[in-house]
A and B are shown apart, each in its own frame.
Chain A
């Protein structure tokens, strides 16, 4: 604690000194150091090494750090006093739709990006009750609302170079002066007429803004683009399907498994020209390892949903890809599921951490791991230098589409009776298309060495039907009906030991999935929310609930923590239910059609009874 305080004092002094030169184009990694960010946390498990500086008082990146740990060393709020937490202030964003992201806090200003119309609200934390510093209104094209598959969500922003940088629903990226609210640049990155939207949180890596597409339900061919942080000009774009030249697979590429090594698989693993409508959109989280200089992200489902309409392995859908951020070139790729039958997007967070790993009977010190809790229900631990899968174990027991993974080949041992296709209704597939978890991100604590996973227990019946590609409309070919999985619960916060590959504890929800992000802190606390609106603090070691508050709407956002200008620690979270699984909370969706909302309504009928739409930022403190 003393060490943290000392660093924080240094940081405040540095901030005061830095105020005069605000607007200078400082490299983001220097900015991180100025906030007193740390990589070594007092009390960490031995041999747990974090590769990215942690947010220590501020929250400048979508996940706090580059490694997607969502861990803050702040510890004023801890297991001894969490029961004293209470709401200090609230604020309305004015947009009652799914609030999936989380705010940023930089230089004592909090930045909130709303769902469409994607306003940026800056709140001055010096002022009591959070006075508005500015509101930037980008006015994106309203036609984008009709092509967004799963509510009009936005998953957050990055701060870099004096700018708040984020995506608009209509496939534009904007950079806004963090101090004045003036638009610095605005770049169109996609075309809504063919179904492209942008909902993910842009990540700034060095001098580049990384932006990935959404639109896997509309036959969008996925891409990741890098924009110049100063000008917004596109520097490189890597497609997820098509020839190697488009995927940026070249001389730097070395896939670990032979199945992933042949050239031009973005074309050859598809029939005809289906790859042009092949999906594989990277609409989730990006992480970055500054030591290896690699970015990591996962790709979504192949297009079209009905697998009979796209014979082949369908690369690079449902894959984890590592790229050199400087030129975009792929360094490795591992497809987790060939020829997806179930809409298992693998866009989930990739948590980067070095831990001792058992290999051939002894411990390999500080192996460079990538933790990926899959939509498939398997928890993948990979070597992030090579793409090798080191372990893949089920973290939700009902998972039945595959029995296990063959780590030698990197392929799942699938239950072929769960394979979907045209003209048949396949029943009792677990998990459902929404996954054993969805995009809502886990948190990792170096104090416990555990990953805290917001998990679902939902299953489905799936019928393949005809599909017609009509640009800008859904391209599915599936009639899906979801329902709660077996065991009497539908959600669970799972504390998972990635080295032992087993659950340490879990906190279950009877009727709803856990569909919020997770925050872990130096106070040995884990924060998360539930779809019926409870915001909770658990003891990170035991799962004991220490604090609970019922918010005005279900929570599908990601909690963050920061230190205010008064030196006190705060925790902030959005309460605004929505997104795919929250669709039925909207009065525009009827609970009597289990096939509504791409089949999700069947599993979520209870939601209308326990919560409604919301648009509120909550700030908690002691």
Chain B
């Protein structure tokens, strides 16, 4: 088995084309927002992808960086496993979810819908989030959990099979706005419902 050497050459050529490379800074990062009121609740930002995002946000790094992601699981992880019979271990639904800090903010909901189109989420997940290249967000099936913190985490960290890690590109406020929109689907609050 051997790989032809053309692949690297080809990729270099693409770089010369001036295309945007996801690994380099993007014009999308430009409108970074102040989030001093939010960071206290952003325990999830400690996952690697989000930490990088937080560092780009003024005031985000110091307060968000310290807590391990598992802290969000609450008491379930505090007892040493070796002292206990194995199982039952908590599932996704057994842990109290973090609320969306923008819950109830109607302008944030509209902004979430706008960003869903602007960042091409609609191209993958469907014009009204019914799916396509990516899975539907309108159905009762949630691979990675349906609570706001889980949705935030899926957007921020990315998921296997092609979901990008938007946490390295977008400010936290926008991630929560997108989360708010996704949470609103098939509810009376959904903006631009089909």
A residues with a Cβ closer than 8 A to B are 142-150, 183-191, 193-194, 217, 221, 227, 231-234, 237, 273, 276-277, 465-466, 468-476, 479-481, 583, 586-601
Q: A146-B163, A148-B133, A193-B22 are in contact. Are A593 and B6 (CB under 8 A)?
A: no
Q: A146-B133, A146-B134, A596-B136 are in contact. Are A191 and B162 (CB under 8 A)?
A: no
- How many residue-residue contacts, CB under 8 A, span A and B? 177
Q: Are B11 and A191 in contact (CB under 8 A)?
A: yes
Contact segment of B80-88, B103-111, B116-124: B116-124
Q: Can you list, as one digit per residue, whether each of B4-22 has a CB less than 8 Å from chain A (1) or not (0)? A: 1111001100100111111
Chain B residues lying within 8 Å of A601, measured Cβ to Cβ, are 126, 130, 132
Q: Are A595 and B130 in contact (CB under 8 A)?
A: yes
Q: Are A221 and B17 in contact (CB under 8 A)?
A: yes
Q: Are B194 and A588 in contact (CB under 8 A)?
A: no
Q: Does B187 interact with chain A (Cβ within 8 Å)?
A: no
Chain A residues lying within 8 Å of B3, measured Cβ to Cβ, are 185-188, 232
Q: A186-B1, A191-B11, A590-B136 are in contact. Are A234 and B6 (CB under 8 A)?
A: yes
Pick the contact of A142: B19, B161, B194 (CB < 8 A).
B161
Chain B residues lying within 8 Å of A468, measured Cβ to Cβ, are 28, 118-120
CB distance from B18 to the nearest CB of A (A): 6
Chain A residues lying within 8 Å of B127, measured Cβ to Cβ, are 479-481, 593-596, 599
Q: Are A188 and B7 in contact (CB under 8 A)?
A: yes
Q: Does B2 interact with chain A (Cβ within 8 Å)?
A: yes
Interface pairs (25), CB distance under 8 Å: A142-B160, A142-B162, A145-B162, A146-B133, A146-B134, A146-B164, A147-B162, A186-B3, A189-B6, A189-B10, A237-B10, A273-B18, A276-B18, A465-B117, A466-B118, A469-B20, A471-B19, A474-B122, A592-B138, A593-B127, A593-B136, A594-B194, A595-B130, A596-B132, A599-B127
CB distance from A183 to the nearest CB of B (A): 5
CB distance from B12 to the nearest CB of A (A): 10
CA distance A199 to B11 in the complex (A): 19
Chain A residues lying within 8 Å of B6, measured Cβ to Cβ, are 187-189, 233-234
CA distance A227 to B5 in the complex (A): 12
CA distance A189 to B23 in the complex (A): 20
Q: Are B1 and A183 in contact (CB under 8 A)?
A: yes
Q: Does B135 interact with chain A (Cβ within 8 Å)?
A: yes
Q: Are B138 and A470 in contact (CB under 8 A)?
A: no
Known: A189-B10, A593-B129, A597-B130. 5 other contacts (CB 8 A): A191-B7, A468-B119, A471-B21, A588-B141, A590-B136
Residue ID in chain B nearest A473 by CB atoms: B120
B residues with a Cβ closer than 8 A to A are 1-7, 10-11, 14, 17-23, 26, 28, 117-120, 122-136, 138-139, 141, 160-164, 186, 194
CA distance A591 to B10 in the complex (A): 40
Chain B residues lying within 8 Å of A184, measured Cβ to Cβ, are 1
Chain B residues lying within 8 Å of A469, measured Cβ to Cβ, are 20
CB distance from A346 to the nearest CB of B (A): 22
Residue ID in chain B nearest A185 by CB atoms: B2
CB distance from A158 to the nearest CB of B (A): 18
CA distance A596 to B194 in the complex (A): 10
CB distance from A479 to the nearest CB of B (A): 5
Q: Are A598 and B123 in contact (CB under 8 A)?
A: yes
Residue ID in chain A nearest B17 by CB atoms: A276
CA distance A233 to B119 in the complex (A): 37
Q: Are B128 and A595 in contact (CB under 8 A)?
A: yes
CA distance A481 to B4 in the complex (A): 43
Residue ID in chain B nearest A227 by CB atoms: B4
Q: Are B4 and A588 in contact (CB under 8 A)?
A: no
Q: Are A185 and B4 in contact (CB under 8 A)?
A: yes
Q: Are B123 and A471 in contact (CB under 8 A)?
A: no
CA distance A150 to B3 in the complex (A): 28
Q: Are A232 and B4 in contact (CB under 8 A)?
A: yes
Q: Are B18 and A188 in contact (CB under 8 A)?
A: no
Chain A residues lying within 8 Å of B122, measured Cβ to Cβ, are 474, 479, 595
CB distance from B121 to the nearest CB of A (A): 8
